[in-house]
């Protein structure tokens, strides 16, 4: 199968997506809470670039289409999967840190309870 001009243009247009995919990752941040007078932690979601380079120039027509299709598919699937997994980590982590902070606040201001 010979690549038509349409397919060649599509490959060129998809190259940035393939070469620079992103994933979502949790990031832990520590800060000082003035109200409770304790150091608290929280998670946030951030994105990180994952560079994917393949030897696209050394392939034949069908191989190039298959390689680019596979890389685009992986890039499209990686973002939502990493977002779900990382989002779950952030929810659980922030819940734990919130409970920990509440316990420290109560113990600091009401020593008889803590």
Q: Mean pLDDT for the chain?
A: 76
Look at residue 42 in the predicted model and tell me its pLDDT: 93
State the alpha helices, DSSP H only, in the chain: 5-19, 61-109
**49-97: pLDDT as tens digits:** 776 555 555 666 677 777 777 777 777 787 888 889 999 999 999 999 9
pLDDT at position 37: 82
| Phi, psi for residue 45 in degrees, rounded to 5 | -95, 135
Among candidates 86, 66, 65, which has minimal Cα distance to 23? 86
Burial class (CB in 10 A: 0-12, 13-18, 19+), 43: buried
Q: What is the pLDDT of residue 2?
A: 60
Question: Could you tell me the residue ranges of all domains in the chain?
Answer: 5-109
Q: What is the mean pLDDT of residues 31-45?
A: 88
């Amino acid at each position: 199968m010979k690549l038509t001009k349409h397919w060649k243009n599509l490959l060129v247009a998809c190259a940035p997506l393939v070469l620079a995919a992103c994933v979502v990752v949790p990031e832990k941040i520590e800060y000082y809470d003035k109200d409770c007078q304790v150091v608290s932690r929280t998670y946030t979601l951030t994105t990180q670039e994952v560079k994917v380079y393949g030897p696209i120039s050394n392939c034949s027509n069908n191989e190039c289409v298959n390689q680019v299709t596979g890389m685009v598919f992986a890039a499209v699937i990686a973002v939502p999967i990493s977002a779900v997994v990382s989002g779950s980590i952030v929810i659980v982590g922030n819940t734990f840190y919130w409970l920990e902070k509440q316990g420290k606040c109560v113990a600091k201001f009401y020593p008889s309870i803590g």
